[in-house]
């Protein structure tokens, strides 16, 4: 299957700082990218859906001003957690979907720990 | 709303044992059902899927049958290997081919030699 990478794989930051997570589709063009978060022993919860060149669509309860998503190219989407707090500590996973396809390809995830 | 419930792990089996991971769902309409697998350090990979009632998805010796009458999609394998150790996620998608995926909590499987 197609490959999606995420960087960094893990990050520790201080409360109040901002953290950027990159998601790249390495061998296909992802017209749509999804961002999920996963708490320990919980399901993956969809945070937002972004289409290349458009503003992201956020799920109910997800603060769009806190979780900034940019999908400026067909191979790169970024998630920026602004003014991070300890409750933002989680596992963030992205996935990409090629135009006209019906299978998402997932990145390996990024572990964020906010101290 | 739509939801997925799967058995909690961890599940520990000996090599060549029979595996069942239960998954039930709640959905309106006719969802598509999926099993994803996540090996250590890697992203989720699609293991198998079924798009309508009574369909059987299969891959790498794993099987799951879409049972509408019991709203279930249990994952089975007749003889597990150490290399099957991973986290398994049941998921559904409603609302057309590009609808959102809704995941279960995941079940960690460890297979001992």
Question: How does pLDDT run across B20-54, given as a tens digit for each residue?
Answer: 999 999 998 889 999 999 998 788 899 999 999 99
User: How remote is the C-alpha of B89 from its chain's centroid?
Assistant: 5
Q: Residue B100 pLDDT more than 90?
A: no
Residue B83 in contact with partner chain A when CB distance is under 8 A: no
Decide if A81 contacts A18 (C-beta within 8 A): yes
Cross-strand partners of A93:
A36
Q: Note the pLDDT tens digit of each residue in A21-77.
A: 999 999 999 999 999 998 877 788 999 999 888 889 999 999 999 999 999 899 999
Residues of B in contact with A50 (CB under 8 A): none
Q: By CB neighbour count within 10 A (0-12 exposed, 13-18 middle, 19+ buried), where does B107 fall?
A: buried
Residue A54, pLDDT score: 85
Sign of CA dihedral A61, B38, A34, A4: positive
Test B100 with A105 for CB contact under 8 angstroms: no
**Residue to substitute from A95, A102, A107, interface B, most B β-carbons within 10 A:** A102
Averaged confidence pLDDT in chain A: 92
Residue B95, pLDDT score: 62
């Amino acid at each position: 299957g197609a490959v999606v990478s995420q960087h960094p794989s893990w990050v520790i930051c201080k409360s109040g700082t901002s953290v950027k997570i990159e998601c790249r589709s390495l061998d296909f063009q992802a017209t749509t990218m999804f961002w999920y978060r996963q708490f320990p022993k919980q399901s993956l919860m969809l945070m937002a859906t972004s289409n290349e060149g458009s503003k992201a669509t956020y799920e109910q309860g997800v603060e769009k001003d806190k979780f900034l998503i940019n999908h400026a190219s067909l191979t790169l989407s970024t998630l920026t957690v602004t003014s991070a707090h300890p409750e933002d500590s989680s596992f963030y996973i992205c996935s990409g979907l090629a135009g006209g396809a019906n299978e998402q390809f997932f990145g390996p995830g990024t572990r964020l720990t906010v101290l | 709303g739509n939801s997925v419930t799967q058995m909690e792990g961890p599940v520990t089996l000996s090599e060549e044992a029979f595996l069942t991971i239960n998954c039930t769902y709640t959905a309106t309409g006719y969802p598509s059902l999926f099993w994803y697998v996540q090996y250590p350090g890697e992203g989720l990979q699609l293991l198998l899927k079924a798009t309508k009632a009574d369909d059987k998805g299969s891959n790498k010796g794993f099987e799951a049958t879409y049972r509408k009458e019991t709203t279930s999609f249990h994952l089975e394998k007749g003889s597990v290997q150490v290399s099957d150790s991973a986290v398994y996620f049941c998921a559904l998608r409603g609302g057309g081919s590009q609808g959102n995926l809704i995941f279960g909590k995941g079940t960690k499987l460890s297979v001992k030699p």
